[in-house]
Amino acid sequence: MPDSPTVPVLKAARAQVLGDGVGLDEAGVLAVLRLPDEHLAAALQLAHEVRTRWCGPEVEVEGIVSVKTGGCPEDCHFCSQSGLFTSPVRAVWLDIPALVEAARQTAAAGATEFCIVAAVRGPDERLMAQIRDGVKAIRNAVDINIAASLGMLTQAQVDELVALGVHRYNHNLETARSYFPQVVTTHTWEERWDTLRMVRESGMEVCCGGILGLGESLEQRAEFAAQLQELDPHEVPLNFLNPRPGTPLGDRPLLDAREALRAIAAFRLALPRTILRYAGGREITLGDLGTRDGLLGGINAVIVGNYLTTLGQPPAEDLALLAELRMPVKALSGTV
Ligand code: SF4
């Protein structure tokens, strides 16, 4: 396997991150993001060693379902679910039997996590009622951990989700604080941070990541990694922009695959103990080969099946790749 003892940032990371489990700071992340292509393999190799040492060999498999798709009042410029753009995603609600069936299928595919997602600024009473009924119905019928992603929460809503037994809450910061106003104007980065703080204080696991390739600079990508490090989430979903027609970022180019892989290595070296999850956009950005490189470069969780508004690859393909790489799928008993 390649190693680059001559590259100062990788040498330092080998001692600090692999040896001591202490993530790279913002300057270190930036140095990794700036590595020339000939050192990419070495960075991925080190990130993989870090992930194996501090997280173990297992890969967490998760499924997601959308209870309310489209028609969101917010203006996140990458999102086809905003009702403010011409993107062709209409508001659609899922009923409780369909939700339970989706959880059943997700568990049958080998996943331990089932995340209920809604395209909203934050839950209203109608959505909270549906979550209440849906979580109870799933818990009665399916053996799987339930996560939720419902936008910004009040303290009372945080408390209710805890009481329902929701064990992980997803809320993405999306991008660096300094770049956020270029991407979203209907709410602030700080409002998102407030929800994350309440979730963390509640005892629910925090899942927080973002999207790379929104037009942020490498410096802002490093800033984002450092901000995630400060939050210290249990899980970080890394998305790569899949430009959706009709959104303000619909014409942006895809992130270069090598740049995306460098980012995976850099985020792993910033967050040695976090579950780092491939989320949307990986197929189109990385292709099959890149998916493998990422799993051997610091990623340790995948979403099976479809994403919220775009198609992923069939669960069987991901599971076959994990088997081929000899990466065990995390068992439910290990997470409850
Ligand atoms: S990212 Fe979330 S809050 Fe933003 S427009 Fe899309 S669904 Fe709404």
The pLDDT tens digits of the residues spanning 62-100 come to 988 888 888 899 999 999 889 898 766 666 778 899 889
Residue 80 CA to ligand 1 center (angstroms) comes to 8
Out of 81, 185, 189, give the residue to mutate to test ligand 1, the one with the largest number of ligand atoms within 8 Å of its CB: 81
When comparing pLDDT for 122 and 88, which is higher? 122
Q: If DSSP codes are grouped into helix, strand and coil, which group holds residue 34?
A: coil
DSSP 8-state assignment for residue 37: G
Report which ligand 1 atom has the smallest distance to the Cα of 82: 5
Report which ligand 1 atom has the smallest distance to the Cα of 75: 5
Question: 23 φ, ψ to 5°?
Answer: -65, 155
- H helices of 143-217, in order, are 155-164, 180-183, 189-202
Ligand 1 binding pocket (C-beta < 6 A) is: 72, 74, 76, 79, 81-82, 119, 121, 151
DSSP 8-state assignment for residue 16: I
Residue 314 pLDDT greater than 70, yes or no? no
pTM: 0.92
Residue 304 CA to ligand 1 center (angstroms) comes to 21
Residue 76 CA to ligand 1 center (angstroms) comes to 6
Mean pLDDT, to the nearest integer, of 288-312?
72
- H helices of the chain, in order, are 8-13, 20, 26-33, 40-55, 96-108, 125-141, 155-164, 180-183, 189-202, 218-231, 257-270, 282-295, 315-324
Report which ligand 1 atom has the smallest distance to the Cα of 151: 3
Q: Identify the top-confidence range among 6-10, 274-278, 287-291.
A: 274-278
Query: pLDDT tens digit string along 257-286?
Result: 999 999 999 999 999 999 999 877 777 888
Out of 82, 87, 90, give the residue to mutate to test ligand 1, the one with the largest number of ligand atoms within 8 Å of its CB: 82
Residue 239 pLDDT greater than 60, yes or no? yes
Q: What mean pLDDT value characterizes the chain?
A: 89
Reported as type and span, the H/E element at residue 303 is strand 301-303
When comparing pLDDT for 87 and 174, which is higher? 174
